[in-house]
Amino acid sequence: MDLAERISTLRRVNGLSARQLAALVDVAPTTVTRIESGAVSPSFDLAQEILTVLGEPIGFTGLADVDAIATARLALDPELDVASTPGVELWRQRWVRIGLLDADGRVAAAKEADLLFRAGRAARLTRRPGAVDFTAGLSADEVADSLRGAGIDYALTGDAGANRYRSSAGEAWPVLYVEDVARAAEAASLARKEPGSFGMRVTLIPFDGVSEVGRVDIAGTAVVARDQVIIDAYGGIDRMVEQADILMGRRVA
């Protein structure tokens, strides 16, 4: 797939019009349509910015943008103990341009679901900084039990986290935020997955100062805040998007 087709396809997957995408990257709408038609080639910096806001940065090493998560979380809860960095301000400006946020950086009326979806796409759960995949076998609850027993701080997320808030579907991919990946893996007796291998897995993600903030205790298990679960599910795999929609009230369980 060439760049023009990639941008056009990702724009539609993200549910954006050419005008909205143009507003996100601060160019004229005709620039986007000309890029998608192949009439012009964007500079590397513009191509990178376009693909970043569409959740698919250039190259296979692109990492999720945690600033997008912070921006969305702060838009929904300004009192959250999360720093407002230059990266957060950049995402805030982008989302104000397309009406997801108001001028004060708060989520616009009836735009909560769209905001959380955009944050999930920009900060894909599959590309979180420092994340490590392990061989599948244990459920998220079993990993959580091991970590709790070892006194290791953690927070459940993804489809298992969504099911804690509202039971809706089977668990496809156990994902937990942890204070120390190596200690957590040892405590749960997890075997590291071979790099580049596919299939089922368990993923541990180190605390980033944003995603694990605001966690709650549900039936004795630490789970990230509902908004973070939704962001992660929208940026996840398999049935996670469906479970995010259920939590948002967009689908019936």
pLDDT in tens, 80-103: 999 899 999 999 999 999 999 999
Read off the tokens for 243: 């479970």
Specify which residues 218 forms β-bridges with: 221
| Predicted structure pTM score | 0.90
What's the pLDDT at 253?
62
If phi over 0 gives left and psi between -120 and 50 gives alpha, with beta otherwise, what is residue 114?
Answer: alpha
What's the pLDDT at 194?
81
- Count CB-CB contacts under 10 A for residue 127: 17
What's the pLDDT at 55?
85
If phi over 0 gives left and psi between -120 and 50 gives alpha, with beta otherwise, what is residue 55?
Answer: left
* Residue 148: exposure state from Cβ atoms within 10 A (0-12, 13-18, ≥19): middle
Q: What is the dihedral of CA 50, 56, 61, 63, to 10 degrees?
A: 90
What's the pLDDT at 169?
67
What's the pLDDT at 1?
62
* Residue 194: exposure state from Cβ atoms within 10 A (0-12, 13-18, ≥19): exposed
**Would you say 228 and 235 are in contact if contact means Cβ atoms under 8 Å apart?**
no
pLDDT band at residue 20 under the 50/70/90 scheme: very high
- Of the candidates 95, 109, 85, 17, the one whose C-alpha atom is nearest the C-alpha of residue 53 is 95
- Of the candidates 130, 143, 218, 217, the one whose C-alpha atom is nearest the C-alpha of residue 173 is 143
Q: Rounded distance, CA 163 to CA 84, Å?
A: 30
With a cut of 80, say whether residue 61 has pLDDT above it: no
With a cut of 80, say whether residue 72 has pLDDT above it: yes
- Of the candidates 160, 83, 94, the one whose C-alpha atom is nearest the C-alpha of residue 121 is 94
- Of the candidates 206, 205, 218, 128, the one whose C-alpha atom is nearest the C-alpha of residue 174 is 205
Q: Rounded distance, CA 230 to CA 161, Å?
A: 9
Share of the chain above pLDDT 90, in %: 75
pLDDT tens digits for range 129-186: 999 999 998 999 999 999 999 999 999 999 999 999 987 767 789 999 999 999 999 9
Q: Rounded distance, CA 19 to CA 38, Å?
A: 17
Q: Where in the chain is the domain with CATH 1.10.260.40?
A: 3-53
pLDDT tens digits for range 186-236: 999 999 988 766 778 999 999 999 999 999 999 999 999 999 999 999 998
With a cut of 70, say whether residue 123 has pLDDT above it: yes
Read off the tokens for 42: 């964007």
What's the pLDDT at 126?
83
pLDDT band at residue 79 under the 50/70/90 scheme: very high
With a cut of 60, say whether residue 60 has pLDDT above it: no
Match domain 3-53 to its CATH number in 3.20.10.10, 1.10.260.40, 2.60.40.1930, 3.40.50.300: 1.10.260.40
With a cut of 60, say whether residue 64 has pLDDT above it: yes
